[in-house]
């Protein structure tokens, strides 16, 4: 599983959820639809949820996730307009999904 694969899975999950979803819903979608790929590699199996969060940060930085929703109690949403890319080193809002 590459970072690009995971980015695409997150976008696919959000699309299937109507453009917005809680991080748990996104993880559930990925597990239900990509389970065989995740189980095929032991390292991926044990790290995919951590890497999914990093994917969200990449997508946020690249302007593909709506910046006004990112970090809002773990809700991610597809960007509806071009938000441009952040400069390298800029970080997204804090993810509060576990609080």
Q: CA 20 to CA 95: how far, in whole Å?
A: 15
Q: Would you write out the chain's pLDDT as a tens digit for each of its 99 residues? A: 899 999 999 999 999 999 999 999 999 999 999 999 999 998 888 999 999 999 999 999 999 998 776 556 788 999 986 555 544 555 444 444 444
Q: CA 71 to CA 78: how far, in whole Å?
A: 13
pLDDT of residue 51: 94
Within 13 Å, how many C-alpha atoms sit on residue 93's CB side? 14
Contact 24, 97 (CB under 8 A): yes
């Amino acid at each position: 599983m590459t970072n690009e694969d995971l980015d695409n899975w997150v976008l696919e999950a959000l699309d299937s959820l109507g453009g917005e979803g809680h991080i748990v819903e996104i993880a559930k979608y990925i597990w239900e639809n990509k389970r065989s790929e995740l189980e095929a590699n032991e390292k991926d199996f044990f790290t995919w949820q951590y890497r999914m969060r990093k994917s969200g940060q990449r997508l946020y930085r690249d302007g593909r996730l709506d910046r006004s929703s990112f970090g809002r109690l773990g809700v991610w949403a597809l960007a509806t307009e071009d938000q441009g890319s952040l400069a390298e080193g800029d970080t997204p809002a804090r993810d509060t999904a576990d609080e």
